[in-house]
Amino acid sequence: MAAPSAFRRSRRAAALELSEIVRISEAARALKAAGKPVLSFGTGEPDFPTPPHVIEAAHSAALAGETCYPPTQGTPALRGAIAAQAGFETSAANVIVSTGAKQVISNAFMATLDPGDEVIVPAPYWTSYADIIAVCEAAIVPVPCPAADGFLLTPEALEAAITPNTRWLMQNTPGNPSGAMYSASQLQALAEVLRRHPHVWVLADEIYQHIAYAPFTSLCAAAPDLAGRTLVVNGVSKAHAMTGWRLGWGIGPEVLITAMAAIQGQSTSGASSISQAAALAALTGPQDHLEARNSEFQARRDFTVSALNSITGITCPEPQGAFYVFPSCEGFAGKTTPDGKTITSDADFCDYILQTGLVALVPGRAFGLPGHFRLSYAYAMADLREGLARIAAAAEQLN
């Protein structure tokens, strides 16, 4: 019998590896397994529980027998509720419900991108954007958006990045990892550029809409005339503490939604019927938990920003939304650790803090903008106080 042939990855998968966020989480987990009291601030997951009325709705749906295959595009009730609370004019026909916001983005790019197509992605950006684009065999066009510009894409930078091959602009507000948020006027300025380039569509990732410390504006509200080529992505994971329920949605032109449903129908089919019942309750039931939790996140933000800015070598802008800070650690470049190693990059700094301070952070290079690191403050205040004290103590040991 002939020996089996060697395993060969597909071309699409050849460039994919575990994300740096996952690798850091696994390193932190290994230290914990060795008995080290590691604190991990690397994951964007609220530490609040799912609201009780949401869990009760899921339980009731299961007891009522809502356990069969749901429609691929989502249940009519949930799609109607999503359209009703969108904040701009739309309808259930323009909505697709998926197994998380990440699948919505994947569906959209799988349905529209071909080799040679380009996607403009302001940096810093969520790491999965680049990998999803790579799987679709398209090209990411990162546009650096430094702290001096508030980590926001300027109209001039957008204009310079557009080519005849540009298919999409990724637009994330409030942003991960920076927490930066576009104002209505800033969105309208970008819209002016996009009007000159009608071949460019916009994927507006607004998953952190309800975790904002300043007024939030959706792109489709700021520039309604662009709705015909905009996909708004949102979900219940962050605001309603439902990460494990895996429920997100997209709102866009019906022709795009139909194409995305065809892709979804051959991958996962419809999202969990029980999760859809839970999401319906999250959208239509009591909303008081949103304000209360937002206040807690803002208190954590204020403490975290103040504590980081008190450390010589770190500069931390104040984010306007989400639950991340994205400070600069360039002040430590060239510093030496107690065991003689030189800090030459943000990755070196984060590794040093993990090994010495037992705090897991994610280097900015993972988000396309080196020289920074991401710290999630979606954790209890007691953990933040301890973790930031450890970071400060480790930083003091650098010479």
- Tens-digit pLDDT profile for residues 153-196: 999 999 999 999 999 999 999 999 999 999 999 999 999 999 99
- Average pLDDT on 222-243 reads 98
- Residue 375 pairs in a beta bridge with 325
pLDDT per residue as tens digits for the range 63-83: 999 999 999 999 999 999 999
pLDDT per residue as tens digits for the range 215-226: 999 999 999 999
| pLDDT, position 357 | 96
Peptide bond into 76 cis (omega under 30): no
> Taking 80 as the threshold, does the pLDDT of residue 49 lie above it?
yes
Evaluate whether 278 touches 247 at the Cβ level (below 8 Å): yes
| pLDDT, position 15 | 72
Distance between CA 223 and CA 190 in Å, rounded?
A: 9
The four Cα atoms 236, 230, 106, 127 give a dihedral, to 10 degrees, of -80
pLDDT per residue as tens digits for the range 51-62: 999 999 999 999
- Average pLDDT on 340-366 reads 96
Instruction: Determine phi and psi for 141, rounding to 5 degrees.
Output: -115, 90
> How far is the CA of 68 from the CAs of 65, 129, 270, 274, in angstroms?
8, 32, 10, 9
Which domains are assigned to the chain? 20-48+289-396 (3.90.1150.10), 52-284 (3.40.640.10)
| pLDDT, position 2 | 73
| pLDDT, position 142 | 98
- Reading the block at residue 177, the tokens are 């990892």
Evaluate whether 349 touches 343 at the Cβ level (below 8 Å): yes
Please state, rounded to an integer, the average pLDDT across all residues of the chain. Answer: 96
> Taking 90 as the threshold, does the pLDDT of residue 141 lie above it?
yes
Count CA atoms within 13 Å of residue 117 on its CB side: 20
Enumerate the H helices of 267-398 as residue ranges: 273-284, 288-309, 346-352, 381-396
| pLDDT, position 247 | 98
> Taking 80 as the threshold, does the pLDDT of residue 107 lie above it?
yes
> Taking 90 as the threshold, does the pLDDT of residue 24 lie above it?
no
> Taking 80 as the threshold, does the pLDDT of residue 1 lie above it?
no
Distance between CA 248 and CA 33 in Å, rounded?
A: 33
| pLDDT, position 23 | 83
> Taking 80 as the threshold, does the pLDDT of residue 91 lie above it?
yes
| pLDDT, position 367 | 97
> Taking 80 as the threshold, does the pLDDT of residue 315 lie above it?
yes
Q: pLDDT band for position 286 (50/70/90)?
A: very high
Query: In degrees, to the nearest 5, what angle opens at C-alpha 182 toward C-alphas 176 and 123?
Result: 45
CB neighbourhood size of 340 (10 A): 6
Q: pLDDT band for position 363 (50/70/90)?
A: very high
Evaluate whether 268 touches 41 at the Cβ level (below 8 Å): no
